[in-house]
Structure 1
């Protein structure tokens, strides 16, 4: 611990000007020996090797650590008497903490260890130097091994996706993904070198006999025999689900019309959600929706005719 010489001088300057405070009382130290210690410290300029060499109090065998501990304790109490702890500034509190934290036992152990290092033979110093170099080499190898292990783990680990698949749960998102993949495929095909038709024609394989039934099935006259059905339905672009064909017809242009459709379907027992609809279910649902729209149109005509009848009756009642 560094000796706070300059602040100590300022504190010990007030030691003689005040009476011996009861806080300075110690069962191992008398007032006379404490006064002698403070006086010796001032005369020696705060140099502890000179202080311990000049300290010659009768019947006293104090060590340097004992003298330091006593003097630092007195200085800390002087500082606390002049300035309360709650009113101390940062430098004052730091000095107060430094003076109170001095441990004579730990200081003696530190000096003994340093003295042992100074008195070591040359071969022990050389051996310690070799051991330190070996330790440094082992630490460097350990660092390199850890780096290689981390690199191997990173190579063996699977790449983590930056996105998740929840964004492709709707038909619109799947349509966008399909268009992106199609554009990427077209771009890849555009970058490929063109193949000459003459070369492709020269290397064309002769028709196989295994493809004969397929070609026969493509002929219009043979389609019924092979069970081939050709429809002229216009397929929508993108990806669609069978459940969309059951949910979209339920929604009309107006909210009132949508409520009427929902009421009719609920009345006849058609559930709001049909899981995994088959083509037969979709076909029957289309028939039901056709009848529902026809019923709504008839109801609209009936309401309009009833309204006209009321108007005519009101006119006849007014004229009669």
Structure 2
């Protein structure tokens, strides 16, 4: 294919043809191109490298604008004025002044008067004091003086104690003042009729309770703590640290002891606590174990158990000891039945142990060969052996004995059928032989053999034959019985 000419290139690029234009025609200048303006927040060198193709980067590098100030008011100035006000919580009629907005209501109630909550003050009459409030250590005048001070200083007892100066009176402590006031209030509340329910009355009486002796003891204890010397404080800190160390050691010892007991006694079934008799591990005596080796009995002493929790040396299986009275009572109370652990174990470091399981998971079941017949027998009796409503230990034992009895019945029935079949077979053979002998004597075709003559003439022959049959039957029965017995023992 031929190459493109200059005219084709000019046509593609939309360029004017220089031959078409005259030589005297002036050349038009090219229009200036508009350069993209550099955004704010980015340097000139970086913008010259990336160009205007990445506007998002320029937006990220733009200078942040300050947050606008919130407009909290109407924009105009607020006029304030100095105005007097009345406080409804005051009873002396004192008038004070404060700054308020010019447009507010001048007769409005003082907003902070609602926080002036007064404690209930108790007033008693002469009759009530005579009947209920008389005390040998307090006169009526001193009691009135005490209640006036408490009412004046709004039940602030430390202020009342500081201002308490009854003329010619006994010096009173803060506990004496509080005890007298609360005792009078409790007696007044109990004697007067109550408008509310009994619960609110009891709550008010509990709030007016004061124990003078306990408060005095508490203050003496606090004073003794404040008056301790540095040596006493250091000694108490040392004793406290020693107590914490002893508690930590006791917890660690208990944890190691439980782990050791679980390992020794084989209790690894998830039980949180281990019940041990008062003898502890003393019952696990290390008796010599005898084993036969080469026909000789060799005494092998068990390895003693180390008391250290870090090194545990275990010997062979520990023989079962007699259960103590305390352990037996505990087992009877909690319905615990202990079974003997098998002597054989797969691990040489742990005692043979049977893990915990539910009795309903290990219900006795008949052999697969005799299961249909046993199920048929129990079905005829109306008994379902596949599910126990209450799989207790006694019920599981009764179910096992029932299955053994049904299995023995099936085996016995099988043996009886076998013996009956043998009897019928032998009876048929005997009748055939007698008929053949009778036919031979009638026709005279064959002479009886000596054996036949002897058997025919011997009156005890039939008895011997029958005895032989009975002997075979009894041997079969004894063989079947022995097999069934061995099968039940294995189960």
TM-score, with structure 2 as normaliser:
0.33
Larger radius of gyration: 2
Structure with the higher fraction of residues in helix conformation: 1
- Larger RCO of the pair (alpha carbons < 8 Å, separation 6+): 1
Structure with the higher fraction of residues in strand conformation: 2
